[in-house]
Amino acid sequence: MDTEPRTPEPTDDGPAADAQPADTGPAADTEPDAGQATQATAARPAPNRRQFVKGASVLAGLGVLAAAGGAAVLRSSGGEPAGGDPATSGAPSPLNELANAISPGGPGKDGIPAIDEPKFVTADAADFLADDEPVFGLDHRGDVRAYPQQVLVWHEIVNDTVGGDPVVVTYCPLTGTVIGFTGLEDGPGLTFGTTGSLVNSNLLMYDRETDSRWPQLLGIAIIGKHKEHRLSTMPLVWTTWGAWRGQHPDTQVLSTDTGFARNYGNDPYGSYRDRSGYYVEDRTLFSVMHESDRFGKKDVVIGVRAGEAAVAVHKDLVRRERSVPVTVGGTKLTVQWDAALDTARVVDDGGKAVAFALDAMWFAWYAFYPHTEVVG
């Protein structure tokens, strides 16, 4: 029943069976800033992403459960507001502008269901994965895990516990971004779900405790009780199953036994394995606030943020040069090529991985960080 359209069209068949009506959250509490930067045309009719997931909404078993003791919790930082100054290099678009740019993505709230009680199998038992399939690797406190893209594309959020710590693994297929969110000890416990809405074509999450709204690529709440608060992050590795298993034969793998009936292995957006569909087409499905033709829309950059500063390094440059030095917010870092995992890593002078560094489609990184420095 799953379909693989490349250009969504509006549909009137109602939300998916496991969805609530589209929900953009509480209204923004202030008007947009008058000095908003030049934006991409927002008058285009919003496409409907429901076609990508329609026909795949039948729950298996009990479906999604927000079990009180079963789901991992995330803690939000109680630090300084993180709204940013658009005049600062790399600063995100002002939060109120982002809140007013929320658009419906097709499925309703939780129509793309998060995984709250993830199950894992050993590497030997992960026979549903081919060596060249993308996985998102995490190694935390000796707890090694792989989250297959073929599973995350249908769920986008996994509320997990890794090495005894709460970790929320998030993936947005529309922007090609995977981020692990963790928490600080002085913050309240949170779990996350999908709103069904988007900002700059990027996953808009909500926390179930306060219903605050968090664009994944920003990691800062733009609406709700936690507005202006920033989530701490944990780096994940975008690599292939064969490479990750070769380096981590003891890894655990997120199972397809999710409690939901989904056609895992059939990506509704296209394919990374044979480079097809949405992932390579030089177009987007939804409007964004800022655009740049510096690179192709789907070119992959390594985005790095430190404070309010941001830098984007073309991934092909890192692959070619093997090591690219950058300075982000006054901090000297190095973007290194990891040949064993066929990916890029960002480390500080001591070789420690930088928390907020990730692969991203160029159009998405620029949409959130229009003042980013660019290398490549």
What residues have CB less than 8 Å from 188, skipping those under 6 apart? 75, 76, 209, 210
Nearest to 256 by CA among 180, 359, 158: 158
Question: By the 8 A CB rule, do 195 and 206 touch?
Answer: yes
Provide the pLDDT confidence category of residue 307 given band limits of 50, 70 and 90. confident
Q: How far apart are CA 282 and CA 181, in angstroms?
A: 29
pLDDT, tens digit, for every residue of 129-145?
A: 999 999 999 999 999 99
**DSSP letters of 180-199?**
EEE--TTS-EE-EEEEEEEE
Task: Identify the pLDDT of residue 355.
Answer: 86
Task: Identify the pLDDT of residue 2.
Answer: 39
Provide the pLDDT confidence category of residue 84 given band limits of 50, 70 and 90. very low
Task: Identify the pLDDT of residue 4.
Answer: 33
Q: What are the φ and ψ backbone dihedral angles of 288, each rounded to 5 degrees?
A: -125, 165
Report the chain's mean pLDDT, rounded to a whole number: 82
Task: Identify the pLDDT of residue 29.
Answer: 42
Q: How far apart are CA 132 and CA 242, in angstroms?
A: 6
Nearest to 339 by CA among 272, 241, 253, 247: 247
Task: Identify the pLDDT of residue 90.
Answer: 62
Q: How far apart are CA 297 and CA 280, in angstroms?
A: 9
Q: How far apart are CA 123 and CA 366, in angstroms?
A: 37
234: enclosing H helix or E strand? strand 232-234
pLDDT, tens digit, for every residue of 193-252?
A: 999 999 999 999 999 999 999 999 999 999 999 999 999 899 899 999 999 999 999 999
Report helix, strand or coil for 104: strand
Nearest to 354 by CA among 218, 233, 178: 233
Q: What's the number of CA atoms in the CB half-sphere (13 Å) around residue 45? A: 7
HEC-encoded secondary structure of 320-375: HHCEEEEEECCEEEEEEEECCCCEEEEECCCCCECCCEEEEEHHHHHHHCCCCEEE
Q: Domain segments of the chain: what residues?
A: 50-291
Report helix, strand or coil for 316: helix
What residues have CB less than 8 Å from 298, skipping those under 6 apart? 176, 279, 280, 281, 282, 361, 362, 363
Report helix, strand or coil for 162: strand
